[in-house]
A and B are shown apart, each in its own frame.
Chain A
Amino acid sequence: MNINLRLFLIIFAIFWFVLTSYFLKKNKLPVKYSLVWYTIIFIMLILGAFPNILVLISEFCGFQVVASFVVGVILTLMIFITLILTMIVAEQKKKITLIIQELSILKEKIQNEK
């Protein structure tokens, strides 16, 4: 594997690690979700350090270029994360709807009692 790609992978992983830790510290990212990112970063570091694993897997999967394998994996991961986010958003929308409804009914009740 190209040394530049390996370097890029490692630098990117470190950058990502710092970013995730920063948001975690600022309480913007729940610990629950940070674990997913840390796992991904960890895998990236391992692959950057030992590229042979990557070459083996990508050949096994039938990719001709390792780089396109990396892109493919990341893309799959992103789609998966987007799907989960869509579900979380839908769940939140349900809860917000419930709050708006109950609050509005309550407000009407209070106004009537005045």
Chain B
Amino acid sequence: MKQNYKILLIIPAYNEETNILSTVKNIKDYNKKNKTNYDVIVINDGSLDNTSKICHENHIPVIDLIKNLGIGGAVQTGYKYAKENNYDIAIQFDGDGQHDVRYVKEIIAPILNKEANMVIGSRFIDKTSSEFKSSFTRRIGISLISSVIRLKTNKKVYDTTSGFRAVDKKVINLFALTYPIEYPEPISTVEVLYNHFKIKEIPVNMNERQGGKSSIASWKNIYYMINVILSILIIGKRVK
């Protein structure tokens, strides 16, 4: 049954020359060991370093964005690619070594069982399962966004900013058509809920980032939060 599904890992990469090769190598090794066939597409978001060169030299499938678009625009390119190539499941996977390919099996399971349209790999759903440390203010921010989402959609999403997520074909089509360019993780989550798709969260472990920078800089946290909350409230008005 599993072989019939086309599964794509979308790896957005901006200046990830130190990590990208090992990230993709881990996935390929995992494929060999477990007889899985996860495809990979690296979206090189106009990196200034050797990310593109490394990918081409090692025959890693890569789309080089001709200009930097930011994380939202890069990930959406991946979803467009998934739609064009008729993938059944697309998984967003970080290029900096934060995400562990062993969890892919677990986050696609609810989609294969038709329990959910979108699965989020969550750091906070189960406190004991994750050793991921994030700053205090960031945790407060995430839980505040989580409360607003619950208020608007009656659905508790614990890890709203997790970039580790799998979606089925219906959501791939939605994301290919419209994907929030700014603050993509929490806002796309809300859009999926407003479109009456089902979301499930699965606890995962995340590694400390091995290099590169978070797309959410710490000093921008408050600005980020206000923006996200405002966006969530406005999207609700738009749909109704």
Contact = CB atoms under 8 A, between A and B. Distances in A.
A77 B228 CA distance: 30
A105 interface: yes
Contacts of B181: 93-94, 97
Interface in A68-105: 93-94, 97, 100-105
B84 A104 contact: no
Interface string A39-76: 00000000000000000000000000000000000000
Nearest to B44: A104
Q: Which interface class (under 10, 10 to 19, 20 to 34, 35 or more) fits B?
A: 10 to 19
B80 A97 contact: no
Contacts of A101: 65, 69, 73, 76-77, 80
Interface of A: 93-94, 97, 100-105, 107-108
23 contacts: A93-B181, A94-B181, A97-B69, A97-B181, A100-B65, A100-B66, A100-B69, A101-B65, A101-B69, A101-B73, A101-B76, A101-B77, A104-B63, A104-B65, A104-B66, A105-B77, A105-B81, A107-B63, A107-B64, A108-B61, A108-B62, A108-B64, A108-B81
Interface of B: 61-67, 69, 73, 76-77, 80-81, 84, 181
